[in-house]
Structure 1
Protein backbone atom coordinates (compact mmCIF):
# COMPACT_ATOMS: atom_id res chain seq x y z
CA UNK A 1 0.00 0.00 0.00
CA UNK A 2 1.22 3.48 -0.86
CA UNK A 3 1.87 5.49 2.30
CA UNK A 4 3.20 8.88 3.39
CA UNK A 5 6.75 7.49 3.64
CA UNK A 6 6.58 6.42 -0.03
CA UNK A 7 5.37 9.89 -1.00
CA UNK A 8 8.22 11.55 0.89
CA UNK A 9 10.78 9.26 -0.73
CA UNK A 10 9.47 9.99 -4.24
CA UNK A 11 9.34 13.74 -3.56
CA UNK A 12 13.06 13.80 -2.79
CA UNK A 13 14.01 12.34 -6.18
CA UNK A 14 15.44 15.02 -8.44
CA UNK A 15 16.84 13.08 -11.38
CA UNK A 16 15.54 14.02 -14.80
CA UNK A 17 14.04 12.30 -16.61
CA UNK A 18 11.51 10.92 -14.14
CA UNK A 19 8.82 8.60 -15.53
CA UNK A 20 5.46 8.24 -13.78
CA UNK A 21 3.08 5.58 -15.11
CA UNK A 22 -0.47 5.15 -13.84
CA UNK A 23 -2.78 2.34 -14.83
CA UNK A 24 -6.21 1.17 -13.67
CA UNK A 25 -6.06 -2.60 -13.15
CA UNK A 26 -8.38 -5.54 -12.62
CA UNK A 27 -8.25 -7.54 -9.41
CA UNK A 28 -9.06 -10.88 -11.04
CA UNK A 29 -10.49 -12.55 -14.10
CA UNK A 30 -9.71 -12.61 -17.77
CA UNK A 31 -9.42 -8.82 -17.89
CA UNK A 32 -5.97 -9.10 -16.29
CA UNK A 33 -4.59 -9.80 -19.77
CA UNK A 34 -5.80 -6.36 -20.85
CA UNK A 35 -3.75 -4.80 -18.08
CA UNK A 36 -0.54 -6.30 -19.48
CA UNK A 37 -1.34 -4.98 -22.95
CA UNK A 38 -2.19 -1.53 -21.59
CA UNK A 39 1.07 -1.38 -19.64
CA UNK A 40 2.97 -2.38 -22.79
CA UNK A 41 1.29 0.50 -24.65
CA UNK A 42 2.09 2.96 -21.86
CA UNK A 43 5.73 1.84 -21.86
CA UNK A 44 5.84 2.47 -25.61
CA UNK A 45 4.54 6.01 -25.03
CA UNK A 46 7.12 6.55 -22.30
CA UNK A 47 9.88 5.32 -24.60
CA UNK A 48 8.75 7.72 -27.33
CA UNK A 49 8.79 10.61 -24.87
CA UNK A 50 12.22 9.66 -23.51
CA UNK A 51 13.62 9.58 -27.03
CA UNK A 52 11.73 12.60 -28.39
CA UNK A 53 11.70 15.10 -25.54
CA UNK A 54 14.68 13.98 -23.51
CA UNK A 55 17.09 12.90 -26.25
CA UNK A 56 17.71 9.33 -25.10
CA UNK A 57 18.68 6.76 -27.69
CA UNK A 58 16.19 3.89 -28.06
CA UNK A 59 18.47 1.28 -26.37
CA UNK A 60 19.02 3.68 -23.44
CA UNK A 61 15.28 4.31 -23.14
CA UNK A 62 14.63 0.55 -23.16
CA UNK A 63 17.21 0.04 -20.40
CA UNK A 64 15.67 2.91 -18.42
CA UNK A 65 12.20 1.30 -18.62
CA UNK A 66 13.41 -2.28 -18.05
CA UNK A 67 12.15 -2.61 -14.43
CA UNK A 68 8.61 -1.93 -15.64
CA UNK A 69 9.01 -3.94 -18.85
CA UNK A 70 10.07 -6.96 -16.77
CA UNK A 71 6.59 -6.94 -15.19
CA UNK A 72 5.05 -7.82 -18.55
CA UNK A 73 6.44 -11.35 -18.32
CA UNK A 74 5.68 -11.96 -14.63
CA UNK A 75 2.29 -13.67 -14.63
CA UNK A 76 2.41 -14.11 -10.84
CA UNK A 77 2.67 -10.32 -10.41
CA UNK A 78 -0.59 -9.80 -12.33
CA UNK A 79 -2.47 -12.40 -10.29
CA UNK A 80 -2.23 -10.27 -7.16
CA UNK A 81 -3.43 -6.87 -8.32
CA UNK A 82 -5.51 -4.18 -6.73
CA UNK A 83 -7.54 -1.47 -8.50
CA UNK A 84 -4.55 0.57 -9.68
CA UNK A 85 -0.85 0.37 -10.48
CA UNK A 86 1.65 3.22 -10.13
CA UNK A 87 5.20 2.91 -11.46
CA UNK A 88 7.96 5.45 -10.90
CA UNK A 89 11.31 5.24 -12.72
CA UNK A 90 14.32 7.53 -12.60
CA UNK A 91 18.06 7.02 -12.54
CA UNK A 92 18.67 4.74 -9.56
CA UNK A 93 14.97 4.65 -8.63
CA UNK A 94 12.38 2.00 -9.41
CA UNK A 95 9.16 2.04 -7.37
CA UNK A 96 6.11 -0.08 -8.16
CA UNK A 97 2.93 0.30 -6.10
CA UNK A 98 -0.37 -1.56 -6.26
CA UNK A 99 -3.05 0.80 -4.95
CA UNK A 100 -6.70 0.34 -3.90
CA UNK A 101 -8.01 3.22 -6.05
CA UNK A 102 -8.63 3.35 -9.76
CA UNK A 103 -5.99 5.54 -11.39
CA UNK A 104 -6.15 7.38 -14.70
CA UNK A 105 -4.30 5.67 -17.52
CA UNK A 106 -1.38 8.01 -18.21
CA UNK A 107 2.35 8.41 -18.66
CA UNK A 108 4.22 11.52 -17.54
CA UNK A 109 7.90 12.05 -18.33
CA UNK A 110 9.18 15.15 -16.58
CA UNK A 111 11.98 16.46 -14.38
CA UNK A 112 10.18 15.14 -11.26
CA UNK A 113 7.63 12.43 -10.52
CA UNK A 114 3.94 13.18 -10.90
CA UNK A 115 2.19 12.17 -7.67
CA UNK A 116 -1.17 13.93 -7.84
CA UNK A 117 -3.23 10.80 -8.73
CA UNK A 118 -2.04 9.14 -5.49
CA UNK A 119 -2.86 11.97 -3.10
CA UNK A 120 -6.38 10.68 -2.27
CA UNK A 121 -4.72 7.64 -0.69
CA UNK A 122 -3.09 9.86 1.90
CA UNK A 123 -6.15 11.87 2.91
CA UNK A 124 -7.99 10.17 5.79
CA UNK A 125 -11.40 11.51 4.80
CA UNK A 126 -10.77 11.48 1.04
CA UNK A 127 -10.55 15.28 0.87
CA UNK A 128 -7.34 17.27 0.57
CA UNK A 129 -6.05 20.65 -0.56
CA UNK A 130 -3.12 21.50 -2.75
CA UNK A 131 -1.29 24.80 -2.49
CA UNK A 132 0.68 25.75 -5.59
CA UNK A 133 3.23 28.49 -5.07
CA UNK A 134 5.27 30.15 -7.80
CA UNK A 135 7.56 33.14 -7.81
CA UNK A 136 4.79 35.32 -9.26
CA UNK A 137 1.70 34.20 -7.35
CA UNK A 138 0.12 31.60 -5.06
Structure 2
Protein backbone atom coordinates (compact mmCIF):
# COMPACT_ATOMS: atom_id res chain seq x y z
CA UNK A 1 0.00 0.00 0.00
CA UNK A 2 1.22 3.46 -0.90
CA UNK A 3 0.24 6.85 0.54
CA UNK A 4 -0.03 9.87 -1.73
CA UNK A 5 -0.65 13.60 -1.63
CA UNK A 6 -2.55 15.09 -4.58
CA UNK A 7 -2.40 18.88 -4.88
CA UNK A 8 -5.76 20.12 -6.18
CA UNK A 9 -7.80 23.29 -5.68
CA UNK A 10 -10.68 22.87 -3.22
CA UNK A 11 -13.37 23.37 -5.87
CA UNK A 12 -11.96 20.49 -7.92
CA UNK A 13 -11.61 18.31 -4.82
CA UNK A 14 -15.30 18.89 -4.06
CA UNK A 15 -16.24 17.78 -7.59
CA UNK A 16 -14.15 14.65 -7.19
CA UNK A 17 -15.67 13.79 -3.81
CA UNK A 18 -19.20 14.30 -5.20
CA UNK A 19 -18.40 12.14 -8.24
CA UNK A 20 -16.28 9.51 -6.48
CA UNK A 21 -13.12 10.12 -8.53
CA UNK A 22 -9.76 11.84 -8.62
CA UNK A 23 -7.64 13.33 -11.38
CA UNK A 24 -4.01 14.34 -11.26
CA UNK A 25 -1.61 16.60 -13.12
CA UNK A 26 -4.27 18.27 -15.28
CA UNK A 27 -5.97 15.01 -16.27
CA UNK A 28 -2.84 13.18 -17.45
CA UNK A 29 -2.61 9.44 -16.67
CA UNK A 30 1.09 9.09 -15.69
CA UNK A 31 0.79 9.39 -11.88
CA UNK A 32 -2.61 7.70 -11.78
CA UNK A 33 -1.04 4.61 -13.35
CA UNK A 34 1.42 4.37 -10.45
CA UNK A 35 -1.44 4.05 -7.96
CA UNK A 36 -2.98 0.72 -7.00
CA UNK A 37 -6.31 -0.33 -5.57
CA UNK A 38 -6.24 0.32 -1.82
CA UNK A 39 -3.70 3.15 -1.95
CA UNK A 40 -4.63 6.19 0.13
CA UNK A 41 -4.67 9.75 -1.21
CA UNK A 42 -4.79 12.92 0.87
CA UNK A 43 -5.81 16.02 -1.06
CA UNK A 44 -4.02 19.28 -0.37
CA UNK A 45 -5.64 22.49 -1.63
CA UNK A 46 -3.45 25.58 -1.84
CA UNK A 47 -6.43 27.63 -3.06
CA UNK A 48 -10.22 27.57 -2.95
CA UNK A 49 -10.46 27.59 -6.76
CA UNK A 50 -8.15 27.24 -9.74
CA UNK A 51 -9.09 30.60 -11.22
CA UNK A 52 -9.23 33.60 -8.89
CA UNK A 53 -9.26 31.36 -5.80
CA UNK A 54 -8.33 32.59 -2.35
CA UNK A 55 -5.45 31.08 -0.39
CA UNK A 56 -6.55 28.02 1.59
CA UNK A 57 -3.44 25.91 2.39
CA UNK A 58 -5.39 22.98 3.83
CA UNK A 59 -5.86 19.25 3.47
CA UNK A 60 -9.39 19.00 2.06
CA UNK A 61 -10.21 15.32 1.47
CA UNK A 62 -8.94 11.82 2.05
CA UNK A 63 -9.82 8.71 0.11
CA UNK A 64 -8.80 5.30 -1.11
CA UNK A 65 -8.29 4.14 -4.69
CA UNK A 66 -11.22 1.83 -5.53
CA UNK A 67 -10.34 0.53 -9.00
CA UNK A 68 -7.55 -1.35 -10.75
CA UNK A 69 -6.71 1.00 -13.63
CA UNK A 70 -7.19 4.65 -14.60
CA UNK A 71 -10.08 5.36 -16.95
CA UNK A 72 -10.68 8.21 -19.35
CA UNK A 73 -13.78 10.29 -18.80
CA UNK A 74 -15.77 10.24 -22.04
CA UNK A 75 -17.29 13.70 -21.66
CA UNK A 76 -14.22 15.81 -20.97
CA UNK A 77 -11.31 13.52 -21.68
CA UNK A 78 -9.22 13.62 -18.46
CA UNK A 79 -7.90 10.44 -16.90
CA UNK A 80 -9.37 9.49 -13.52
CA UNK A 81 -9.33 6.91 -10.74
CA UNK A 82 -12.42 5.82 -8.83
CA UNK A 83 -12.24 6.73 -5.15
CA UNK A 84 -13.97 5.96 -1.86
CA UNK A 85 -13.76 9.04 0.35
CA UNK A 86 -13.76 9.20 4.16
CA UNK A 87 -15.84 11.75 6.03
CA UNK A 88 -13.41 14.44 7.15
CA UNK A 89 -12.92 18.12 7.88
CA UNK A 90 -10.66 20.46 5.95
CA UNK A 91 -7.52 20.89 8.05
CA UNK A 92 -4.98 23.72 7.76
CA UNK A 93 -1.43 22.52 7.07
CA UNK A 94 0.45 25.11 9.15
CA UNK A 95 -0.19 23.53 12.60
CA UNK A 96 1.21 20.23 11.24
CA UNK A 97 4.31 21.53 9.44
CA UNK A 98 6.79 20.81 12.25
CA UNK A 99 5.62 17.19 12.51
CA UNK A 100 5.46 16.22 8.82
CA UNK A 101 8.51 14.23 7.71
CA UNK A 102 8.06 15.07 4.02
CA UNK A 103 8.55 18.77 4.81
CA UNK A 104 12.34 18.99 4.54
CA UNK A 105 12.69 22.77 4.85
CA UNK A 106 9.94 24.44 6.91
CA UNK A 107 10.89 27.82 5.41
CA UNK A 108 10.06 26.48 1.94
CA UNK A 109 7.36 23.97 2.85
CA UNK A 110 5.19 24.76 -0.19
CA UNK A 111 7.82 23.64 -2.69
CA UNK A 112 6.94 19.94 -2.43
CA UNK A 113 3.34 20.60 -3.51
CA UNK A 114 4.44 22.05 -6.86
CA UNK A 115 4.90 18.48 -8.12
CA UNK A 116 1.14 17.83 -7.97
CA UNK A 117 1.19 14.21 -6.81
CA UNK A 118 3.86 12.71 -4.58
CA UNK A 119 4.34 9.82 -2.17
CA UNK A 120 4.47 10.17 1.59
CA UNK A 121 5.34 7.72 4.33
CA UNK A 122 2.80 6.08 6.63
CA UNK A 123 3.57 8.23 9.74
CA UNK A 124 2.76 11.41 7.79
CA UNK A 125 -0.40 9.83 6.41
CA UNK A 126 -1.55 8.77 9.89
CA UNK A 127 -0.84 12.22 11.33
CA UNK A 128 -2.83 14.02 8.62
CA UNK A 129 -5.68 11.48 8.66
CA UNK A 130 -5.97 11.82 12.43
CA UNK A 131 -6.11 15.63 12.19
CA UNK A 132 -8.75 15.44 9.45
CA UNK A 133 -11.04 12.87 11.06
CA UNK A 134 -11.03 13.75 14.75
CA UNK A 135 -14.17 15.42 16.09
CA UNK A 136 -13.99 19.21 16.29
CA UNK A 137 -15.06 21.20 19.34
CA UNK A 138 -18.28 23.15 18.80
Instruction: Give the TM interval when normalised to the shorter protein.
Output: under 0.3
More strand per residue: 1 or 2? Answer: 2
Larger relative CO (CA 8 A, sep 6+): 1 or 2?
A: 1
TM-score (norm 1): 0.25
More helix per residue: 1 or 2? Answer: 1
Rg (Cα) greater in structure: 1
TM-score (norm 2): 0.25
